Chain A
Amino acid sequence: GAVVSQHPSWVICKSGTSVKIECRSLDFQATTMFWYRQFPKQSLMLMATSNEGSKATYEQGVEKDKFLINHASLTLSTLTVTSAHPEDSSFYICSARPLGEAWVHYGYTFGSGTRLTVV
């Protein structure tokens, strides 16, 4: 089945620094990837839709200058949390859906998530 690799799995950074999270589709091409944020014991909230070769589409209330998304190739999307602050500490997850009909059986494919802690 389709695999999405997300890296790093966890990161601790100092307040004011920037952190980049990578999401790679390993065995399929993803023209669209999705970035979610999840707080402890809560659901996933969509932050933005990453589109290959074009600007990302951000959900209402998500600061695009704070959360920079780059989707430079059909297999890689990156999320950069700029000037991170403690309130940005969260679990970030990416997702993609392969082309074709396999998704009907396998659904969307999710990365394993990145635990970001800003100190």
Chain B
Amino acid sequence: SQQGEEDPQALSIQEGENATMNCSYKTSINNLQWYRQNSGRGLVHLILIRSNEREKHSGRLRVTLDTSKKSSSLLITASRAADTASYFCATAAGPGTASKLTFGTGTRLQVTL
């Protein structure tokens, strides 16, 4: 399987704390994306980082990418109960529209009050 691995599989934190999720992948990539999925729903795009980028920020999100280690991390700062969801990394091998996404195993984040 070419599927990437994410850790932890599950993470439970209190509101206000930071949440860090890690993703490892196996093949060369053009870009890596992070998605969020609420239970039983579709996926919502969070942030994309290209292979020539090392770090990217968007609001409370910070993503890093280390292509030498084939790994990425997603940091959510000052978490809120509404951040409770599953988070997936996904890699694309090419820039074209036909470039399929390969998803990681996902991290289930639970943020409690």
Q: Are A97 and B97 in contact (CB under 8 A)?
A: yes
Provide the residues of chain B in CB contact with A49, threshold 8 Å: 98, 100
Tell me the chain A residues, 65-108 only, with Cβ under 8 Å from chain B: 91, 93, 95, 97-99, 103-108
Residue picked from B3, B33, B43, B50, most chain A C-beta under 10 Å = B43
Q: Are B42 and A93 in contact (CB under 8 A)?
A: yes
Q: Are A112 and B41 in contact (CB under 8 A)?
A: yes
B25, CB-defined interface residue at 8 Å: no
A43–B101 Cα distance when bound, in Å, is 12
Given contacts A32-B98, A107-B35, A108-B101, contact A43 B3 (CB under 8 A): yes
B43 nearest CB across to chain A (Å):
4
* Contact string against A for B residues 88-112, beta-carbon threshold 8 Å, 1 for contact and 0 otherwise: 1010000001111111111010000
Secondary structure class of chain B's binding surface, majority of residues: strand
Provide the residues of chain A in CB contact with B104, threshold 8 Å: 43
Residues of A participating in the B interface, judged by any CB pair closer than 8 Å: 6, 30-32, 34, 36, 41-46, 49, 51, 91, 93, 95, 97-99, 103-113, 115
B40, CB-defined interface residue at 8 Å: yes
Q: Are B45 and A46 in contact (CB under 8 A)?
A: no
Q: Are A107 and B88 in contact (CB under 8 A)?
A: no
Q: Which 10 A-B pairs have the closest CB atoms?
A: A107-B45, A112-B42, A110-B43, A110-B42, A32-B98, A44-B103, A43-B103, A97-B97, A43-B106, A43-B105
